[in-house]
Each structure stands twice: as C-alpha cells, then as structure tokens.
C-alpha cells in the first residue's frame, strides 16, 4: 500500500523533491553510523546530479549540498559532514520560489528532477556519453523506485519507463544495463568484504596501530628501568 504526500512529512527544501526528502528521513533511522555516513554521501551525490548547474567545475557546491541535507533532516542527524554544522538561522530566510512545470508527469514517483536529467541526456551527441547517461539514469530510477515502492523492479520495466519519459529517444540494450548494474553491486560488496577482511587481519586503522606502538614503548622503558 502506497503512502500519499498528504500523510507524509513536509518537503523542507522543495527544489530537491519528495523522494530526496524521504531518503533523508530514512537516513535518520539507520543505527549503524558507518552505513549512515555512506548513505549520506550517496544522497549528497544524488542531490548534485539532480541540479546540472552544480556540476560546474569552477564552483564547489559541496558545502551547500551537505548543509541542505542537514537542513532537510531538521538539523537532527548525526553524520560526519566535511563542513561545520550549519546554524538553523541560516535557513530561516524566506524560501526561494520554485517554478514548477505545468506539464503532466508520466511517473510522479521519479520526480521533476529525473525528467530534467532525461532532457539533458537527450541533448548528448557523443555515443559513449549518451550510453553512460542512460545507464546512470537506469541506476537512479531503480533506486528511486525502490525508495517509493519498497519492492524490486526489473531492468526491462525501468527501460520501458525511461523510453516513454524520453519520447522514445533514449534506448539501450537491456543486457548492457543488467551487466552494468550487477557490476556496480559486486564492486560495492567486494569493497565491504575487503574492509571486513582488513579488520580480521589486524589492519584496523590508525588508532590500533598507535595503541600497539604505545604498548611497545612502555615495555622498552620498563626494561631500561630494570
């Protein structure tokens, strides 16, 4: 059973949409701090992708994105932001007016931002860049669908949605998409296994190394005193 916007919490920064707000709300429920930080980085990256102007290499929007995430969490989230936590008063100014398109949305759960990304992808003329954009959109749409529906969805369905939303201009072989998405999942799993393995082998980080060095120095001093 789906929830409706009228029964959900407010969208604090409307330029990011309901789906991103729900993701931020979910972040606050993750008990494991490491997982919470990893997911926060994913959400920040998604927020950046949703606004093409933030990809300008001459301007660093990182602090704005992290500050916006904390604001959407109502300043009540424990994450390792690379920047000082913003003050609530910073966001008390009159909110910016967001212009919404009057065009009917084909799939509301993807949001206006995905529609904008699709329009940007349609402008790409380089075949490799266009293919990478389509794969990225498929990955993003699958994640957004899962956040909305809490169910798995086949790549064929995602591609069908993308084809319709792009007016048949964005197409790709479904096996290519499956291969790319599965490769991404394997890399994330391998990364997690490598971290666990390094801890089991004793490579648990600087703090443990410092403790071992401190104990070794204490033993040497004790021998000298004798």
Residue 225 confidence (pLDDT) above 50: yes
Mean pLDDT, residues 95-109 taken together:
56
Per-residue pLDDT of 42-70, as tens digits, reads: 999 888 888 877 777 777 889 999 999 99
Q: How far is Cα 47 from Cα 66, in angstroms, rounded to an integer? A: 10
Which pLDDT value is given to residue 33? Answer: 93
Mean pLDDT, residues 24-49 taken together:
91
Task: Classify burial at 56, counting beta carbons within 10 Å of its beta carbon; exposed 0-12, middle 13-18, buried 19 or more.
Answer: exposed
Confidence of residue 220 (pLDDT cuts 50, 70, 90): low
Most confident region among 6-20, 112-126, 201-215 by mean pLDDT: 112-126
- Transcribe 23-70 into DSSP letters: HHHHHTT---HHHHHHHHHHHHHHHHHT-GGGG-TTS--HHHHHHHHH
Q: How far is Cα 136 from Cα 119, in angstroms, rounded to an integer? A: 14
Contacts 24+ apart (CB under 8 A), 81-88: 81/40
Dihedral through CA 104, CA 164, CA 177, CA 173, nearest 10? -170
Which pLDDT value is given to residue 221? Answer: 56
CA-derived radius of gyration, the chain = 22
User: 3-class DSSP state for residue 213?
Assistant: helix
Residue 88 confidence (pLDDT) above 60: yes
Q: How far is Cα 216 from Cα 200, in angstroms, rounded to an integer? A: 21
Is this structure's pTM higher than 0.85?
no
């Amino acid at each position: 059973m789906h929830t409706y916007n009228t029964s959900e919490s407010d969208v604090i920064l409307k330029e990011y949409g309901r789906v991103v707000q729900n993701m931020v709300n979910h972040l606050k429920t993750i008990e494991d701090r490491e997982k919470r930080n990893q997911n926060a980085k994913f959400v920040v990256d998604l927020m950046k992708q949703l606004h093409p102007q933030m990809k300008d290499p001459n301007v660093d929007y990182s602090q704005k994105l992290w500050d916006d995430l904390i604001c959407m969490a109502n300043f009540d989230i424990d994450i390792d932001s690379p920047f000082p936590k913003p003050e609530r008063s910073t966001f008390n100014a009159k909110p910016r007016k967001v212009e919404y398109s009057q065009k009917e949305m084909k799939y509301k759960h993807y949001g206006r931002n995905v529609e904008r990304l699709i329009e940007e992808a349609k402008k790409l003329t380089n075949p490799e860049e266009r293919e990478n954009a389509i794969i990225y959109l498929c990955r993003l749409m699958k994640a957004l669908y899962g956040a909305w529906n809490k169910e798995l969805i086949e790549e064929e369905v995602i591609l069908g949605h993308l084809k319709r939303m792009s007016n048949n201009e964005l197409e790709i072989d479904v096996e290519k998409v499956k291969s790319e998405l599965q490769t991404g999942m394997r890399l994330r799993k391998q990364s997690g296994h490598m971290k666990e393995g390094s801890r089991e082998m004793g490579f648990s980080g600087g703090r443990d190394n410092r403790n071992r060095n401190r104990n070794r120095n204490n033993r040497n001093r004790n021998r000298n005193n004798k």
